[in-house]
Amino acid sequence: MDISGKVAIVTGAGAGIGAALARRLADGGARVVLADLDAAGAAQVAASIGANAVAVGGDVADEKVIQSLIDRAESEFGPVDLYFANAGIGGGPGLDSTDEQWSAALEVNVLAHVRAARLLTPGWLERGSGYFIATASAAGLLTQIGSAPYSVTKHAAVGFAEWLSVTYGDKGIRVSCVCPMGVDTRLLHGDLIPGSPEAAELAVKAVKTAGAVLTPEQVAEVVVAGVAAETFLILPHPEVLKMYRHKGSDYDRWLEGMRRFQAMLRG
């Protein structure tokens, strides 16, 4: 897909990967609606982009907010061509995670994707084209040491993207799933497991030990290249594919290795 002239919505665009994606899309000629719970952050990024970007504040897990994003895109630029379901949050640690932490992670990391696809798919089917890009995580292919809600919901995000592609891929709807490891964003600096410093330290140490920490701009470049190629699995860290294959080839051996890795991190 050529992004030039296309209309895109990017959630979680007030900072991090979302902000970098919005800027990269605009640089490529796309017109972008930026959404974030941090309305001021999204507005600041949109202002830095210029006339081809507008910002909307709100909780993108709320179906009414998603509909408002679609309506704003259509009124400002035209029908939505690409939807980047990029907003994401961390979660609690392990079995001591509260129901509220589980619910919040499910709402933002999974159900926000489902609700957006539910609203967009009918129009895309009618037009015969559309592109849904889900930001999951390498944790959705492997796991996340230190956080059960984050790991489980990112697995679910990958699973939903797979289902969407299988169900609608022959009907003009393209789907990609972005699965990076460490990225220099707020999640890596305290937001992955709020309120649980010990678990957060373990989780971040696992991420940083596993591979390089990329900038959001590096990730955005890989994502746009993956969209251009219409690749389902977009891996800013290519080594994740080797890890994923190793997991699939001998699940028990991989689990044993992860337990050893966790023990090493704990010292």
6: left (phi over 0), alpha (psi -120 to 50) or beta: beta
Q: 127-131: long-range contacts at Cβ-Cβ below 8 A with a sequence spacing of 24 or more?
A: 127/79, 127/172, 128/171, 128/172, 129/81, 129/172, 129/173, 130/80, 130/81, 130/82, 130/83, 130/172, 130/173, 130/174, 131/1, 131/81, 131/82, 131/83, 131/173, 131/174, 131/175, 131/176, 131/227
Interior CA angle at 209 toward 205 and 213, to 5°?
Answer: 90
Rounded to the nearest 10 degrees, the angle between the axes of helix 39-49 and helix 16-27 is 20
150 is catalytic: yes
Residue 25 to residues 13, 70, 221, 224: CA-CA distances in angstroms? Answer: 12, 17, 9, 7
Residue with tokens 């309506």: 71
Amino acid letter at 181? M
Residue of 150, 168, 244, 251 with catalytic role = 150
Helix/strand number for the chain, H first, E second: 10, 7
Task: Record the tokens describing residue 36, joined without a space.
Answer: 């974030």
The residues assigned a catalytic role are 150
